Structures are given as C-alpha cells and as structure tokens.
C-alpha cells in the first residue's frame, strides 16, 4: 500500500510540534524515521495512523484521503505499535494478540477458526507461540514488545507503523524483527534510534525539530555533515568484510572539543 503525506503538521495548543512534512512511501517499502529525541517521530507516526485530532495537510492511502475512511476501515489497513502501551489487566498473550482481529470482527462475524489460525501464525512469526498462555504481567519488556508486534500483524495490515520497535529487545530479536519486517509484503514506516539498524531500511527520513530534513537512501542521508548537524556525532565508517557492508562508529562531538 502506498502512503503519501502532503504538507502535514500538528499543533499542540497552538505550538507546532511537526510541520510541513511531505513524504511518499512506495508499496512494500520500508521507511526508517530517524532524528533526535523530541524531533517529532512519534507524533508523525500518530498522525499517519489517524490518531491526532485536527491535523493539518492530508494523508493518502493508495491515493485515497484517510479522512474519508472510518476508524474501522483505517484499522483494516494500518496497524500501529506504539511506544509504551501497557495494561494492568491479567490478559494472556493470546488475549492480546486476539485484539488485533478486532477491526475484522462484528456481531455478525465473530471470532472464528480463521482468526485463530492467524493468531497462531503471527505468534510463530515473532517467536512467542510457546508462551501463548502466559499472563501479560509475567512477560519481560522484550516479550511484551513482540506480543504487540504480533497483535499488529494479526490485523493483517497493508501498512505497518512501528515506533521504536527494537526497544527492549535483545540483540537476537532486534535482528530477527528487522528481518521479519523486511520480508513482510507490507509497507512499513518505523521510527528507529539505532542508526546502524536504520541503515537496513530501504530509505530513511530524517526529522529534526518537527521538520523533515531529508528523505533518501541511507548512504545518501547519513553523511558526516548531517550526522554532525542533526545528531551531534562524528561517525567513522567501518567496513565489515563478512557481508561487505558499512557500519558506523560514533564519537560524541563534545569529546573532541576537549
């Protein structure tokens, strides 16, 4: 599914939080959203998901303006994994993932065998199948994150919005999540803070201070000048001969002034 935002922005009590963002994400593409803390990544994702009141500009899904879609139709197309979604209810892993089927269910088509099959399949995909009956309050942060991702996948979305999905995950699951995301046949927009992980995206969009600075291929975007001006780091590119890739090693700019 193609996602287009046209000059979108959002104010928090008349103070602009994000402003003038125009993006075009192709079907099947994985777009990484990077930028310092507070640069507006989460806000942009919430706006794309249609969760913000009175946004400026327009968001299109396959050319259709999202304001013409009902909440339910939105949820049948877009799944969103927020940062920090918590509960104190003693739900099981199964219960949480079943929530993902909500936009497809109604009084006339209640939860059925196919829904059950989807739930099992996505739990397998995130490696949580064996913990299906575990209670939410007994899960670690990383396990909760994986369950949230399974819940999002259970929505069978065409667009997946992920807000720092690798937070809380150990290195194994960070990599397996990124691989899972890249193999999915859906369009993905995800906020990331690890720039080396961001390098694995098809394209990167850099946010700073509520604005989109640039959007392009990782190598074109993560130039030394930009890393210095936006992220306030100096990077040394290192070569990894095992897969012929480049990784970045960072140094704080403040360190060098000493």
Partner 1 sequence: MRSAAATVRANGETARVLLRTLLVRGVPAVAVLLLAIIAGVIIGEMPISARTVGMVLANNLWGAGYPVDPIDAGIIWSYRLPRTLVAAACGAGLALSGVVLQSLVRNALADPYLLGVSAGASTGAVAVTILGIGGGMIGISAGAFVGATLAFVLVALLARAAGGGSAQLVLAGIAGSQLFNALTSFFIAKSANAEQARGIMFWLLGNLSGVRWPDVWLAAPAAVFGLLTAMWFMRAMDAFTFGSSSAASLGINVRRVQAMLIGATTLMTATMVSLVGSIGFVGLVIPHAMRFVVGPRHARLIPASALAGALFLIAADVTSRMLIPGQVVPIGVVTALVGAPAFALILIRNRKRT
Asked if 72 is part of the footprint of partner 1 (rule: CB under 8 A), the reply reads yes
Q: Which of 12, 38, 62, 111 binds partner 1 (CB under 8 A)?
A: 111
Asked if 197 is part of the footprint of ligand ADP (rule: CB under 6 A), the reply reads no
Q: What is the 3-state secondary structure (H, E, C) of the chain?
A: CCEEEEEEEEEECCEEEEEEEEEEECCCCEEEEECCCCCCHHHHHHHHCCCCCCCEEEEEECCEEHHHCCHHHHHHHEEEECCCCCCCCCCEHHHHHHHCCHHHCCCCCCCCHHHHHHHHHHHHHCCCHHHCCCEHHHCCHHHHHHHHHHHHHHCCCCEEEEECCCCCCCHHHHHHHHHHHHHCCCEEEEECCCHHHHCCCCEEEEEECCEEEEEECHHHHCCHHHHHHHCCEEEEEEEECCCCEEEEEEEEHHHHHC
Asked if 10 is part of the footprint of ligand ADP (rule: CB under 6 A), the reply reads no
Asked if 42 is part of the footprint of Mg ion (rule: CB under 5 A), the reply reads yes
Asked if 41 is part of the footprint of ligand ADP (rule: CB under 6 A), the reply reads yes
- Angle between the N-to-C axes of helices 113-125 and 141-154, in degrees from 0 to 180, rounded to the nearest 10: 140
d(CA 150, CA 126): 6
Asked if 55 is part of the footprint of ligand ADP (rule: CB under 6 A), the reply reads no
The piece of 39-47, 60-68, 94-102, 213-221 that touches Mg ion (CB under 5 A) is 39-47
The least CB distance from residue 32 to Mg ion, in Å, is 13
The piece of 78-86, 176-184, 187-195, 213-221 that touches partner 1 (CB under 8 A) is 78-86
Asked if 257 is part of the footprint of partner 1 (rule: CB under 8 A), the reply reads no
Asked if 37 is part of the footprint of ligand ADP (rule: CB under 6 A), the reply reads yes
The piece of 15-23, 35-43, 99-107, 175-183 that touches Mg ion (CB under 5 A) is 35-43
Asked if 118 is part of the footprint of ligand ADP (rule: CB under 6 A), the reply reads no
The least CB distance from residue 211 to ligand ADP, in Å, is 11
Q: Nearer to partner 1 by C-beta: 48 or 206?
A: 48
The item of Mg ion, ligand ADP, partner 1, none sharing an interface with residue 38, based on CB under 5 to 8 Å by kind, is ligand ADP
Asked if 117 is part of the footprint of partner 1 (rule: CB under 8 A), the reply reads no
């Amino acid at each position: 599914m193609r996602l287009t935002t046209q000059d979108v922005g959002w104010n928090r009590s008349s103070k602009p939080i994000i402003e003038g963002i125009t993006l075009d994400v192709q079907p099947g593409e994985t777009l990484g959203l990077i930028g310092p803390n507070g640069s507006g990544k989460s806000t942009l994702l919430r706006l794309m998901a249609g969760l913000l009141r009175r946004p400026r500009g327009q968001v299109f899904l396959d050319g259709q303006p999202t304001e013409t879609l009902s909440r339910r139709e939105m949820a049948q197309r877009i799944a969103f994994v927020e940062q920090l979604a918590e509960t104190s209810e003693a739900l099981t892993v199964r219960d949480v993932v079943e929530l993902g089927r909500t936009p497809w269910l109604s009084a006339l088509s209640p939860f059925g065998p196919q829904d059950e099959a989807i739930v099992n399949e996505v739990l397998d995909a995130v490696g949580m199948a064996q913990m299906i009956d575990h209670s939410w309050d007994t899960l670690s942060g990383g396990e909760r994150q994986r369950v949230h991702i399974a819940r999002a996948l259970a929505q069978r979305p065409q667009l997946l919005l992920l807000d720092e999905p690798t937070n809380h995950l150990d290195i194994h699951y960070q990599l397996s999540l990124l691989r899972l995301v890249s193999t999915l046949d859906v369009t993905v927009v995800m906020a990331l803070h690890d720039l080396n992980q961001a390098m694995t995206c098809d394209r990167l969009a850099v946010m700073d201070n509520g604005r989109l600075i640039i959007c392009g291929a990782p190598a074109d975007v993560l130039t030394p000048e930009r890393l210095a001006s936006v992220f306030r780091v100096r990077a040394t590119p290192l070569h990894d001969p095992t897969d012929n890739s480049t990784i970045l090693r960072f140094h704080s700019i403040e360190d060098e002034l000493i």
